[in-house]
């Protein structure tokens, strides 16, 4: 789900569109353009370890972001952990508001990922 970026709009309500600039599976150097929360973002994949880790980053309106996802198999499924950092003049100018926006975005993304995983698997998933 997470690596099939072109399908994000189907299960991530805030993602309006995604276009891959690099065909095929995501790999380091793959690029994709996407629109979310009024931002037009160009992301470049930095790391892919299938089923374990995915990292991408890129600029959007003066903010440079790095987003890392880790997936750890457990006895009851997969533990998902995500971290994202933002830097740039807009962040420095309004750190509290942008931190709140980032926290909200990550919370929504993980909840939507959980819901989609439950929908596809037919199982209910608990959060630690």
pLDDT at 124: 64
pLDDT at 122: 74
Predicted pLDDT at 125 = 60
Dist. CA 54–CA 51, nearest whole Å: 8
* Whole-number Å distance between alpha carbons of 32 and 67: 14
Count the neighbouring beta carbons within 10 Å of the beta carbon of residue 74. Answer: 8
pLDDT of residue 76: 81
The pLDDT of residue 37: 86
**Measured distance CA(16)–CA(9) in Å, rounded:** 6
Written as tens digits, the pLDDT of the chain (128 aa) is: 899 999 999 999 999 999 999 999 999 999 999 999 888 999 999 999 998 999 999 999 999 999 999 999 988 888 999 999 999 999 999 999 999 999 999 999 999 999 998 888 777 666 55
- The pLDDT value recorded for residue 98 is 93
Please give the model's pTM, rounded to 2 decimal places.
0.87
Q: For position 1, what pLDDT does the model report?
A: 81
CA atoms 60, 114, 79, 100: torsion sign: positive
- Residue 77 is predicted with a pLDDT of 83
């Amino acid at each position: 789900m997470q690596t099939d970026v072109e399908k994000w709009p189907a299960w991530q309500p805030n993602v309006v569109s995604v276009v891959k600039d690099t065909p095929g599976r995501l790999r380091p150097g793959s690029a994709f353009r996407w629109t979310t929360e009024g931002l037009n973002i160009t992301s470049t994949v930095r790391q892919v370890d299938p089923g374990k880790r995915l990292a991408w980053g890129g600029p959007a309106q003066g903010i440079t972001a790095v987003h890392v996802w880790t997936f750890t198999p457990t006895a009851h499924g997969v533990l998902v952990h995500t971290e994202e950092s933002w830097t740039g003049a807009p962040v420095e100018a309004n750190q509290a508001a942008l931190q709140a926006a980032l926290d909200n975005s990550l919370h929504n993304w993980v909840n939507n990922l959980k819901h989609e995983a439950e929908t596809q698997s037919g199982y209910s998933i608990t959060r630690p």
